[in-house]
Amino acid sequence: MHIQSKLPDVGTTIFTVMSQLAVQHQAINLSQGFPDYECSPELIRLVDHYMRSGYNQYAPMAGLLSLRERIAEKQEKLHHVIYNPDTEITITAGGTQALFASIACVIRPDDEVIIFEPAYDAYGPTVTLFGGRIRSVELSAPNYSIDWVEVGKLINDKTRMIILNYPNNPTGRTLDEHDIKCLINLTRGTNILILSDEVYEHLIYDGKQHLSLSRYPELRERSFITASFGKLLHATGWKVGYCLAPEGLMKEFRKIHQFEVFSVNSFVQYAISDFLKNDRNYLEISEFFQVKKDFFGTLMKETRFDLLTCNGSYFQSVQYSRISDEKDTDIAIRLIKEFGVAGIPVSAFYSKGTDDHVLRFCFAKKKETLEKAVEILIKV
């Protein structure tokens, strides 16, 4: 049997490729973004409690109401904005499903979508799947700042959506008030929607503040905001996330969501709902990762890799110009095979494979894992 591919240019993701190589060569895996330590024992106890108590059947399609209420409380506490848990919040099967449903309910053939590269690799294929056209804005190392004049030149009557990811994967950059002002000015008076991927919202460092688009009424009214409990709770394998959107947008979002997954596993939702009653369980996560970022950064200063600015996420990007002029894909593979440490070549986040000689390492790892990895990287 043969079918004509709807995504002919899409292969296996770079994350899978590098993780497989890491396993094959028994390398320390700093490539894929997941912790190598356990999540909270209290959270595990709550999951076990609800599973054993019989909460194993379908949850409501939109998600457990108490969990949606916890999310609404968190948004109000952190960003001073009110979302209606009945009509404006939906629990999803991870952040990526929330992204998919947001794009699916909006994009039609020939609609144009602006994305900023380096970009998470789910955006482009999902837009393509629904007949949309990607208009890319390339951001360059080491600063990865947005040229909003360039963005304005891409906007036309076919522009339907702008996708943002801040704190950014892979660069670790965050938005500032200038960026927000420019975004408001560019979208004012248009029908352009915004998809704001804020899965690393709580992972902010060095005195920075996460500027959620939900804070700004002119952006909130046109935005799908997606997030992930996997990043917040150190449990990426649970695949539980959520989407925030005004009622009109959320109504269309749920039409797609109900036929993708219908609902998300119930016992985990009950557990997370209880866990979030203690706001320290999300307010202190930034400090937790600040320690890891600083520890990894201090160790890496003993290497010939140059650290780029990281204000958010749990990824540290580095340039290797003092080491080699080879392609980032080549040195990434060589690091695995010859040295035993896996990272991600950042060119994989560009549709054109733009290579600024940058690698991405994940520091959401045990202290001993980071120490062992850097002991090896010092030799490169």
CATH code for the part of the protein at 57-278:
3.40.640.10
Pairing of strands 315-319, 341-342: unpaired
For residue 212, give the nearest of 173, 171, 166 by alpha carbon. 166
SS3 of 92, please?
strand
Domain ranges of the chain: 14-39+283-377, 57-278
Instruction: Provide CB contacts within 8 A for 307, sequence distance 6+.
Output: 297, 300, 301, 316, 317, 318
User: At residue 52, what is the residue type?
Assistant: R
For residue 337, give the nearest of 30, 27, 31 by alpha carbon. 27
pLDDT the model gives residue 116: 98
Instruction: Provide CB contacts within 8 A for 57, sequence distance 6+.
Output: 266
Q: What is the DSSP letter of 263?
A: S
CA distance 243 to 100: 11
300's tokens? 């890496």
Q: Phi first, then psi: what are they for 296, rounded to 5°?
A: -65, -45
pLDDT band at 154 (very low <50, low <70, confident <90, very high): very high
pLDDT the model gives residue 350: 96
User: At residue 351, what is the residue type?
Assistant: S
pLDDT band at 157 (very low <50, low <70, confident <90, very high): very high
CA distance 187 to 182: 9
Q: How many CB atoms are located within 10 Å of the residue 38 CB?
A: 10
CA-to-CA dists, residue 4 to 1, 7, 8, 9, 16, angstroms: 10, 9, 8, 12, 24
pLDDT the model gives residue 139: 97
pLDDT the model gives residue 32: 87
pLDDT, tens digit, 9 for 90 and up, residues 164-174: 999 999 999 99
SS3 of 120, please?
coil
pLDDT, tens digit, 9 for 90 and up, residues 28-76: 999 989 999 999 999 999 999 999 999 999 999 999 999 999 999 999 9
Fold of the CATH domain 14-39+283-377: Aspartate Aminotransferase, domain 1 (3.90.1150)
For residue 46, give the nearest of 314, 238, 260, 228 by alpha carbon. 238
pLDDT the model gives residue 309: 96
Task: Give the pTM.
Answer: 0.95
CA distance 68 to 107: 26
Q: Please give the share of the chain, as a percent, with pLDDT higher than 90.
A: 94
CA distance 101 to 195: 11
For residue 133, give the nearest of 124, 143, 144, 146 by alpha carbon. 124
SS3 of 151, please?
helix
pLDDT the model gives residue 230: 94
Helix boundaries (H) for the chain:
14-24, 41-52, 65-79, 95-104, 123-129, 148-154, 177-187, 217-220, 229-233, 247-260, 266-275, 280-283, 285-300, 328-334, 367-377
